[in-house]
Structure 1
Amino acid sequence: MIRLDERELSWLTIEQIRHLLKTIEEFSQNPHVHLLTRICLATVARWGEAENLQLRHVQEGKLTFVNTKSGKSRSVPVAPELFKEIWKHLEKHEEFSFSLSAFRRALDKSGIKLPTGQAVHVLRHTFASHFFMNGGDILSLQKILGHSTIAMTMRYSHLSEDHLCTAVRFFPNYN
């Protein structure tokens, strides 16, 4: 067997998320990139899945992502305010245009440093990491991410150092 190193994954802190969104608001002229970023952060959608949303995919408080990587459609509930904003945006613009390069420019402008190849994927990983840190369980996260194996989901369960330190409370006391 050939051993392959696992790709380094990263996630954004709450402060970094706020900074990135503010940077997008201030510097991006793309009318879609801010909302697409928020959709990815709220739903773990891949960037392309979010860009492919159409009004018919926005129903009853949920977004339905079609043509996903696994080939299976999945519906994800979103907060009512975000749902209304997406609905209004798609009513006005009819669709999202290609916005990946606008996101990458905003990310560069923000000064947030990520491992190579982690630009938009960091949004998906950010949701997963915060979900896990806030007490979500790995099996629910597997379903949300749409993974077929728990092993794949485990790659997303990296935690902040502060959160890992709290694990010490749960160690058995052998003294």
Structure 2
Amino acid sequence: MGCRAGLHCTEGCSKKTLNNHLGYLNAVYNQLNRLNEIEFDNPIRNVEMIRLDERELSWLTIEEIRHLLKTIEEYSQNPHVHLLTRICLATGARWGEAENLQLRHIQEGKLTFVNTKSGKSRSVPVSKELFEEIRKHLKNHGYFSFSLSAFRRALDRTDINFPSGQAAHVLRHTFASHFIMNGGDILSLQKILGQSTIAMTMRYSHLSADHLKDAISKSPMSNLAS
């Protein structure tokens, strides 16, 4: 049985997966200890997590977004995937958060995402046009069905390349990257993305316009030029 079952890996686990398993085992031992089900200390409490290299954050350009949406429109028979893609691009939502939207979550020009990774609900405003389209879609269909596979098939038809394992998550990175490049601030982005720590959001800070300008004006080459 493979590592997705949480037992062992037949083809090798990623470092992140191994860290996840270590975290799960630590939690089990700690809970058993709290419940007095075991009389010994957590035997793996001092085992350190594997150090992970920061993942490359890929995001789509405006032209790539147009290309992706056109490909979905032309080739996908799934009635939800085109709208779900635009929801993620407009709000920075994770794909699963967008799929979980129901009509009661669409109120006053905002989308409220529930059952999030952080466990906290958050609301993000969208344009009037998108808001009305989502509400109409949910009135007609009732809910968004599982559409991630349809998104991946459409993505495979494009010539867009980015690191493996990101797939629909690249839409979230795309929102965040363009938000910062268009002058948005880090604290607002943290709230929109629903990230628990500012450290996670700071990954996008290097894309700010001011940051990029400083790379030119404050480099040693600028002194040579003058």
TM-score (norm 1): 0.92
Tell me what 1:62 maps to.
110
Answer whether contact 1:47 1:120 (CA < 8 A) is retained.
Answer: yes
Shift of 1:158: 5.0
Moved over 4 A (4+): 162-165, 172-175
| Residue of structure 2 equivalent to 1:30 | 78
Gaps of 5+ in 1: none
Question: Deviation string for 1:10-61 (max 9, x for gaps)?
Answer: 0000000000000000000000000000000001110000001000000110
Quick one: which amino acid aligns to residue 49 of structure 1? E
Aligned counterpart, 1:154: 202
- Could you tell me the percent identity over the aligned residues? 79
| Cα contact 2:206–2:212 (8 A) shared by 1 | no
Instruction: Evaluate the alpha carbon distance shift between residue 164 and residue 109 of structure 1 in structure 2; reply closer, same or farther with a 3 A threshold.
Output: farther
Matched positions, count: 174
Aligned: 1:171 with 2:192:
no
Larger Rg over CA atoms? 2
Q: Which has the higher contact order (CA 8 A, sep 6+)?
A: 1
Calculate the aligned-residue CA RMSD, in Å.
Answer: 2.1
Q: Distance in 1 between matches of 2:70 and 2:59?
A: 17
Name the TM-score, length of structure 2 as normaliser.
0.72
The answer to whether the 8 Å contact 2:138/2:144 transfers is: yes
Mapped contact 2:71–2:157 kept (Cα < 8 A):
yes
Contact 2:103 2:142 (C-alpha < 8 Å) held by counterparts: yes
Counterpart CA distance in 2 for 1:77 and 1:39 is 11
1:78 equivalent to 2:122? Answer: no
> Structure 1 CA distance, aligned partners of 2:131 and 2:212?
36
| Paired letter, 1:115 | P
Question: 1:52-131 to 2 correspondence within 5 Å?
Answer: 52-131=100-179
Deviations 1:112-150 (A, max 9, x none): 111011101100000000000011111111111111111
Tell me if 1:18 matches 2:66. yes
Q: Matched residues in 2 for 1:116 and 1:34: separation?
A: 21
